[in-house]
Amino acid sequence: MSVLTTDQRAPWRRLLSAVALGATAAVVLAGCAAGSTEEADSAPAEDTETTASAEALSITFIPKNLNNPYTGVQLKGGKEAAEELGMSYLEVGALDAAADSQVPFIQTEVQNGTDIIVLAANDPNAVCSALDEARAGGAKVITFDSDADCRDLFINQVEEEEVALGQLRQLFDQIGGTGEIAILSATANAPNQNAWIAAMRAEIETNADYEWEIVAEVYGDDEDAKSFQEAQGLLQAYPNLKGIISPTTVGIAATARYLSTSEYKGQVALVGLGLPPQMKEFIKDGTVTAFALWDPSEVGYLAGYAGKALADGTITGAEGETFEAGKLGTFTIGENGRIIVGPLLEFNAENIDDYDYISF
Ligand code: RAM
C-alpha cells in the first residue's frame, strides 16, 4: 500500500496551508473546497497518484489503521472512484487503531485545505474536534466503516442489525442456542464494533432461541498478534466454550489460525466478519464453517462518489437526496445522513471460491 506524505501535495495546497493558519482560514478553505478557485487555475499539477489536473478536487482517506488487510480492500475502491472522477487521491493513517492516532492526520488535511476527508473513526470522542475544524474550513467530511457524529455523511456497509443477526444465526446453525460463548472484538472504542455487539447482545436477550451465556468480551485491537493471544486466552480460561464471535476481519483470521492447529479445532465454533482471501484456508481445512462480510471495496468506492457529490453541491447530506455512484448505481441518503452499501454476504465451503475478487 502506498502512503503519500503531505509534502508530496501540490505546492499551492501547501501555500493555502500556511494561510489557513491565519484568521482568514475559513474563507480561503471554503474557496478551495469549491474546487474552482483562481489559485487552482494557476497552480501547478498535483503530484499525487491519481490526477494531473490542478482543478481536481482533493480527497483523502484516513482508515482506522493501515496495518490491516481490510483497509487495503476498502482503499482500493476509494482510489478507483477517485480515478474515475478525476479527483486527486491520498491515503494516510497510522499503523495502529489507537483512539487518538487519527487526529494529527486530520489536522494535516485541514492545513492542506483538502476538499473531502473520508474517515473510519476509531473513536468519535478523539476525532470530532479536528473534523469539526475541517468542516468549519469548508471541507466535506464522510465517515465510512465506522461512524462519528460530526460528519456530512456515513457510508455504512450494511445495517447494523443485519450484521449482528447474521452472525448469531450462523452460530446458532452450528452449536444450537445454549452454552458459553465469547466475543473477540477489535478496539474497545470502535463505533462499528460496538454497534454490532450491542445489537447482538440485545437480540440474545430478547430472542427465546438464544440462551447462550456470553462469558467474555475481549479486544484484539485489530492487531494480529494481540488477537491471536486473546483467542488463546479465551480458550484456556473457558474450557466449556462452545463458540466465538469475532466481528473483525483481523480478529477472526487470528482466531481461526490459533484454532486450526489447536485441540479445539472442530470443537469450538468460530463465526464473525472475515475477508474471503484470509479465511479460505480455514474454511477448506474445516476450522470454520461459515462467516460473513460485504465487499469492502464497495464501501470505499461509494465514499468517493458521495464525496464528489457533496463537494460539487449535488447533494447536501439531507435525507431523501439521491446521487449516482458509478458502477454501483443510484443511492438515496437515509435518516441521519446514512447510506447503506448493500446486504450481508455469507461465505461457506460451497461459495468461498466465488469471492476471490474481494482481495487486497
Ligand atoms: C476490521 C475492522 C473494520 C471492520 C472489519 C469487519 O478489519 O475492525 O472496522 O469493519 O474488521
- Pocket of ligand 1 contains residue 246 by CB under 6 Å: no
Given a cut of 70, whether residue 23 has pLDDT beyond it is: no
Given a cut of 60, whether residue 12 has pLDDT beyond it is: no
The mean per-residue pLDDT over the stretch 147-152 comes to 98
- Give me the pLDDT at residue 300, please: 98
- Pocket of ligand 1 contains residue 184 by CB under 6 Å: no
The mean per-residue pLDDT over the stretch 144-168 comes to 98
- Give me the pLDDT at residue 37, please: 25
The mean per-residue pLDDT over the stretch 21-29 comes to 25
- Give me the pLDDT at residue 53, please: 57
- Give me the pLDDT at residue 7, please: 29
- Pocket of ligand 1 contains residue 308 by CB under 6 Å: no
Give Cβ neighbours of residue 306 (< 8 Å, ≥ 6 apart): 142, 153, 155, 315, 323, 325, 331, 339
Given a cut of 90, whether residue 3 has pLDDT beyond it is: no
Given a cut of 70, whether residue 288 has pLDDT beyond it is: yes
- Give me the pLDDT at residue 54, please: 60
Amino acid (one-letter) located at 221: D
181 CA → ligand 1 middle, Å: 21
| Choice between 341 and 41, residue whose per-residue pLDDT is larger | 341
- Pocket of ligand 1 contains residue 143 by CB under 6 Å: no
The mean per-residue pLDDT over the stretch 298-319 comes to 98
313 CA → ligand 1 middle, Å: 30
Mutate to test the pocket of ligand 1, among 64, 159, 221 (most ligand atoms within 8 A of CB): 64
- Give me the pLDDT at residue 318, please: 98
Lowest mean pLDDT among 6-10, 102-106, 127-131, 132-136: 6-10
The mean per-residue pLDDT over the stretch 53-81 comes to 94
The mean per-residue pLDDT over the stretch 135-141 comes to 98
107 CA → ligand 1 middle, Å: 24
Quote the mean pLDDT of the chain.
88
- Ligand 1 atom with least separation from CA of 273: 6
- Ligand 1 atom with least separation from CA of 274: 6
> Per-residue pLDDT tens for 84-99?
999 999 999 999 999 9
- Pocket of ligand 1 contains residue 270 by CB under 6 Å: no
> Per-residue pLDDT tens for 193-203?
999 999 999 99
**This prediction's pTM:** 0.86
Lowest mean pLDDT among 53-67, 129-143, 242-256, 272-286: 53-67
- Pocket of ligand 1 contains residue 187 by CB under 6 Å: no
46 CA → ligand 1 middle, Å: 31
